[in-house]
Every structure is written in C-alpha cells, then in structure tokens.
Amino acid sequence: MKQKKQIKKENYLERIPVRTDSILWKKDNKGQVTLDIENKGVFNWFAQTLLKRPKTSHIHLDSMGSFVWPLIDGEKDIYHISELVKERFGEEANPLYERLIKFFEILLSYEFIYFKSNK
C-alpha cells in the first residue's frame, strides 16, 4: 500500500511580511502613506520617452493600508498585525482577515513585500 505524502498547509496568518528594500515611502502629517515606485525596464523606458510617463509612480494607500504598511517590519506575522488593525479600526475593518489577506496578496503580486521563512 502506498503512503500518501503529508502536505503541510501553511496558515496564511502565520506568515511574516517584509517590505522590499527598493520601495521608498513616506507618511504625511495626516498619517497617509505614499509608496514611491521607480518604473524600470525597457517597456517603462519607452513609455517614459515616447509617452512622457513618469519615472516614479506614487501609490497612495487608504487609511487601513497606511496603518498596516509601517507595521510590516519583518517581525510581526499577519495575525499580530490583524489584532492591531482590529484594535484600531474595530468593526470598520470587517471582514478583517479577508481584507488583510487580499491587501498582502496585492503587495506580494507587485513585489512590494515578500514573506520571511518561519523556519
């Protein structure tokens, strides 16, 4: 009889996000965070040259994103961050886990963050 391989499913809330070093960001006096993303690569060079696109894109985060971004320190896992968000925003953050996980998935897809290995 063949043994089935045990696949360990990772709990997304246990992941530890880390900001990518190349992402510059600032917080204004109202607490809103803006990420400054340098547009690199051949396609962007053509767009900048021919279409007068900017060399840097400015991404303005909403209030919850602005609260979460500085908490991404390579030490706190997503669950810990979710507890801080719940404390700060209360019912306004609901559905908390779904929103937070989607936020981290988007940050990951644009390579603004990566996840530190838990091992």
Minimal CA–CA distance to 77: which of 9, 8, 16? 16
Read off the pLDDT of residues 25-66 as tens digits, 9 standing for 90 and up. Answer: 999 999 999 998 876 766 655 565 666 666 777 899 999 999
Would the pTM count as exceeding 0.95?
no
Paired tokens of 79: 């669950």
Provide the pLDDT confidence category of residue 5 given band limits of 50, 70 and 90: low
The residue extents of the domains of the chain are 12-114
**Alpha carbon distance 16, 119 (integer Å):** 11
Domain 12-114 has CATH 3.90.930: yes
For position 29, what pLDDT does the model report?
95
- Looking at residue 16, its pLDDT comes to 95
